[in-house]
């Protein structure tokens, strides 16, 4: 068992952001959360992380309501990697990752061998063991995301939530990061924009549209031209990609003839 | 490289440096006891302090003994408490608000405390039941709540809380000026205005006990929250996902900050920029971890204020400057520097 959403409603400023969302996160798998901007992906992740209480419905962890657990208790089970973590603290990689041990330590307990093992293993998994002393503000975008993932792993969670972790990364770093997430032996829920990357790496996909869950299942069941047109308003061809037999989405232009013409004037450099 | 030397070096170096800072504070206090209108030899001051502590019974001139123990040592100790308290408040506010410029003075908390204190002192609000310290606390809490309310109406980022603080400080300073100019006679007005700039002039032993108790308890309490403060490095949401009860921690620490600021304002007046500059200096030496940063800030702040008090007494012959003037002369350029640097790295 893992995380479950039961009829979740969430409102902000009188607008319904999540509307009766129910789903069961498959344990031990990587679930991709798809949907256009403003479809409620981040909100659902926040509810799963216990950062906000649903207006209606409930989130269950192992069959028991998340709301009944203490913050610290939740933090030992569920870790969140935000879309764009920032700090103005002059913090090092090691110090950032050590923050992940916070829920496992009391106000006065010392740094235990167990804490050290968790941090070492987290740094190893993301390949940052040799960059411990580097300062946060000297890191690249991809390195920062890996630090946040290492911090989350140091929490030793059973479920990991990631909010568009590949945003603002170049394609090599996107692939690196997704391969890293896929290797993790955890239940992962990841909001992601790129349909092809989602199809390549996720075991299951859930699609949100206007706060409603409109599709849920294996990538090849979910990613159909009809769904893409309905949710994104875009026509697309879906084929099986040659290298890995995963669904591959090709988008068709919004106006049929726009690609036949000369490209629109771009300032020459 | 001295940057973070005290953090990266071994424990022997760390405790060595802490010991040096404590000894330095002792020397500074004895120095503060010797310097003033009446110069008293260093050894005499030391003997007078040992007498005052009841450890020895050196035969000393009664006047010298009195000046050293009753006036100058109490004054230096209050200065030390004030420096320590304001620095710890600054470090906490900077962590919780994620703002390098946050401190009680900049955020208008000191201004609110001044208004509360002046209301009690001049108008007798509270009918004698509310003391000056409690009045200051209520003023500080009100000003702080107002600033947080203004800053929270939107998540527009870190500059907002500073702007709200500026607005709050202006409002409460105007209120204070209004109260002083309408209800005080000339003599009262002069002494209140002098006190508002930060003055250690009227400090006596009871003030030492009050400031020492409040700052000491606050420091210990804040140390219990050191890990929670560390968890705020990447923002409140991340702190929450690390198991911190964000609202609770904020409420407790804001209340402690308001209490410490109010106590110090009611004794010393509004002393600015100590809470801003010292935590940055401490962070530079020991790094951002709060279990080291808070005690380091307290120690450096205490040393700084005792020295600033000495400077305020000797920089203009025959006259004592308000200590707030001295700290502002050091602090305002540092404020500008921090502002400039935070502009470079958004």
Cβ contact (<8 Å) for A71 and B240?
yes
Average pLDDT value for residue range B73-81: 95
Average pLDDT value for residue range B30-59: 88
Query: What does the pLDDT read at residue B160?
Result: 80
* Inter-residue contact A236 to A224 (CB < 8 Å): no
Nearest CA in chain A to B225: A107
Of B98, B235, B288, which is closest to A90 when you measure between CB atoms? B288
Indicate whether A240 belongs to any domain: no
Query: What does the pLDDT read at residue B106?
Result: 87
| Number of domains within chain A | 1
> B1 pLDDT exceeds 50?
no
Query: What does the pLDDT read at residue B198?
Result: 81
**Higher-confidence residue: B62 or B340?**
B62
Cβ contact (<8 Å) for A107 and B235?
no
Average pLDDT value for residue range B94-119: 89
Range of the domain at A49: 3-219
Query: What does the pLDDT read at residue A195?
Result: 95
* Inter-residue contact B198 to B323 (CB < 8 Å): yes
Give dist(CA B223, CA B227) in Å, integer.
Answer: 8
CATH of the domain at A17: 3.40.50.300
Cβ contact (<8 Å) for B243 and A103?
yes
Indicate whether A189 belongs to any domain: yes
Q: Which residues pair with A33 in a beta bridge?
A: A191, A206
Select the highest-mean-pLDDT range: A181-195, B56-70, B195-209.
A181-195
Query: What does the pLDDT read at residue A259?
Result: 66
Indicate whether A56 belongs to any domain: yes
Contact residues, chain B to chain A, C-beta under 8 Å: 98, 100, 158, 224-228, 230-231, 233-235, 237-238, 240-245, 283, 287-289, 342, 345
**Per-residue pLDDT reduced to its tens digit, B149-186:** 887 755 545 678 888 888 999 999 999 989 888 887 88
> B73 pLDDT exceeds 50?
yes
Indicate whether A60 belongs to any domain: yes
Helix (H, G, I), strand (E, B) or coil at B142: helix
Query: What does the pLDDT read at residue B221?
Result: 96
Query: What does the pLDDT read at residue A34?
Result: 96
**C-alpha closest to that of A157 among A202, A122, A113:** A122
Q: What percent of chain B has pLDDT over 70?
A: 92
Query: What does the pLDDT read at residue B2?
Result: 54
Burial class (CB in 10 A: 0-12, 13-18, 19+), B181: exposed
User: What does the domain layout of chain B look like in residue ranges?
Assistant: 5-344
Cβ contact (<8 Å) for B287 and A76?
no
ipTM over 0.85? The verdict is yes
Average pLDDT value for residue range B78-90: 96
Average pLDDT value for residue range B40-68: 89
Give dist(CA A69, CA A60) in Å, integer.
Answer: 10
Q: Which CATH class is domain B5-344?
A: mainly alpha
Nearest CA in chain A to B245: A71
* Inter-residue contact A142 to A81 (CB < 8 Å): no
Query: What does the pLDDT read at residue B181?
Result: 85
Give dist(CA B5, CA A125) in Å, integer.
Answer: 30
**C-alpha closest to that of B211 among B196, B200, B225, B197:** B200
Chain B: nearest CA to A19, how far in angstroms?
23
Chain A: nearest CA to B163, how far in angstroms?
19
Instruction: Return all residues near B283 (Cβ < 8 A) that are at least 6 apart.
Output: A90, B91, B293
**Per-residue pLDDT reduced to its tens digit, B153-162:** 555 456 788 8
Query: What does the pLDDT read at residue A258?
Result: 64
């Amino acid at each position: 068992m893992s995380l479950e959403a039961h009829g979740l409603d969430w409102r902000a400023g009188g607008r319904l952001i999540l509307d009766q969302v129910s789903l069961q996160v498959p344990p031990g798998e990587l679930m991709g959360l798809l949907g256009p901007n403003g479809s409620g992906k981040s909100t659902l992740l926040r509810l799963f992380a216990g950062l906000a209480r649903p207006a209606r419905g409930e989130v269950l962890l192992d069959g028991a309501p998340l709301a009944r657990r203490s913050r610290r208790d939740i933090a030992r089970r569920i870790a969140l990697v935000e879309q764009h973590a920032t700090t103005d603290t002059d913090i090092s990689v090691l110090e950032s990752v050590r923050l992940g041990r916070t829920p496992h330590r009391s106000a006065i307990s010392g740094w235990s061998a167990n804490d050290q093992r968790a941090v070492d293993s987290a740094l190893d998994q993301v390949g940052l063991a040799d960059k411990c002393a580097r300062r946060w503000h000297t890191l690249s975008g991809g390195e920062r995301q890996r630090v946040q993932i290492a911090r989350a792993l140091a929490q030793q969670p059973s479920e990991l939530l990631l909010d568009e972790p590949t945003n603002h990364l170049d394609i090599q770093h996107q692939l690196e990061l997704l391969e890293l997430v896929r290797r993790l032996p955890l239940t992962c829920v990841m909001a992601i924009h790129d349909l092809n990357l989602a199809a390549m790496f996720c075991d299951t996909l859930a699609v949100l549209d206007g706060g409603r869950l409109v599709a849920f299942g294996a990538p090849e069941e979910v990613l159909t031209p009809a769904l893409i047109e309905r949710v994104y308003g875009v026509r697309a061809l879906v084929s099986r990609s040659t290298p890995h037999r995963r669904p591959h989405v090709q988008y068709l232009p919004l106006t049929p003839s726009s690609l036949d013409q000369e490209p629109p004037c771009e300032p020459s450099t | 490289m001295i940057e973070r030397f005290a953090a990266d070096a071994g424990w022997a170096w760390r405790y060595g440096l802490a010991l040096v800072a404590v000894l330095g504070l002792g020397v500074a206090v004895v120095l503060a006891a010797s310097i003033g209108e009446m110069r008293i030899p260093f050894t005499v001051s030391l003997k007078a302090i040992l007498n005052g502590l009841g450890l020895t019974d050196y035969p000393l001139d009664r006047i010298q003994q009195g000046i050293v123990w009753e006036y100058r040592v109490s004054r230096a100790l209050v200065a030390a408490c004030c420096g320590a308290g304001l620095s710890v408040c600054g470090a906490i506010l900077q962590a919780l608000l994620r703002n390098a410029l946050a401190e009680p003075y900049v955020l208008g908390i000191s201004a609110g405390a001044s208004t509360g204190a002046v209301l009690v002192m001049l108008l007798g609000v509270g009918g004698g039941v509310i003391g000056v310290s409690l009045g200051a606390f209520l003023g500080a809490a009100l000003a702080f709540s107002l600033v947080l309310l203004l800053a929270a109406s939107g998540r527009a980022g870190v500059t907002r809380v500073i702007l709200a603080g500026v607005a709050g400080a202006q409002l409460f300073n105007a209120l204070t000026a209004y109260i002083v100019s309408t209800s005080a006679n000339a003599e009262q007005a002069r002494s209140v205005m002098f006190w508002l700039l930060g003055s250690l002039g009227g400090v006596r032993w009871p003030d030492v006990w009050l400031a020492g108790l409040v700052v000491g308890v606050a420091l210990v309490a804040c140390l219990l929250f050191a890990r929670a403060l560390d968890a705020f490095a990447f923002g409140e949401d991340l702190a929450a996902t690390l198991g911190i009860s964000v609202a609770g921690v904020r409420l407790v620490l804001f209340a402690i900050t308001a209490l410490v600021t109010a106590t110090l304002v009611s004794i010393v007046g509004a002393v600015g920029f100590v809470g801003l500059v010292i935590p940055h200096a401490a962070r530079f030496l020991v790094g951002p971890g709060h279990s080291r940063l808070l005690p380091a800030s307290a120690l450096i702040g205490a040393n700084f204020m005792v020295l600033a008090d000495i400077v305020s007494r000797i920089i203009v012959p025959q006259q004592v400057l308000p200590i707030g003037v001295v700290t502002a002369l050091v602090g305002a350029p540092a404020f500008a520097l921090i502002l400039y640097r935070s502009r470079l790295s958004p």
